[in-house]
Amino acid sequence: MHKCLFWLALVTAIPCYAARTIPMDGQLGELKAAAIPEIKIDDKIYRTAPGLRVYGQNNALIMQSHMPQQATVWFQIEATSGNVWRLWLLTNDEVATLKARPKAIITE
């Protein structure tokens, strides 16, 4: 019985120590203002999708009303509507890692 509890505790604790993964198909930018349903990233105004998901630096979902007004972000845009639908608030280490990533080559 104690073995089962140990393994159960271990398996449930593993995701807490995993590094978060940020998808390749996104853009790095500086969030400069957030007044939902619009946000300003790198001096360009984007509309937000109705189901916008904002991930904080600890990878927890945060409410749109709690978004900071200025931050470095990684964001994804919906292909059909052009709205921002996912946004990650980045740490300094993540910014350095994303800047070092090779650029994706898009072929059509």
Using CA atoms, how far apart are residues 9 and 43, in angstroms rounded to an integer? 47
| Maximum distance among all Cα pairs of the chain, rounded to whole angstroms | 59
Q: Which residue did the predictor score with more confidence, 10 or 30?
A: 30
For 19-38, the pLDDT digits (tens) are 788 998 999 999 999 888 99
Q: Does the pLDDT of residue 72 top 60, yes or no?
A: yes
For strand 71-77 and strand 61-62, is the pairing parallel, antiparallel, or unpaired? unpaired
Please report which helix (H) or strand (E) contains residue 19, including its range.
none
* Mean pLDDT of the 54-68 span: 93
In the predicted model, what is the mean pLDDT of the chain?
Answer: 86
Counting residues of the chain whose pLDDT is more than 90, the rounded percentage is 62
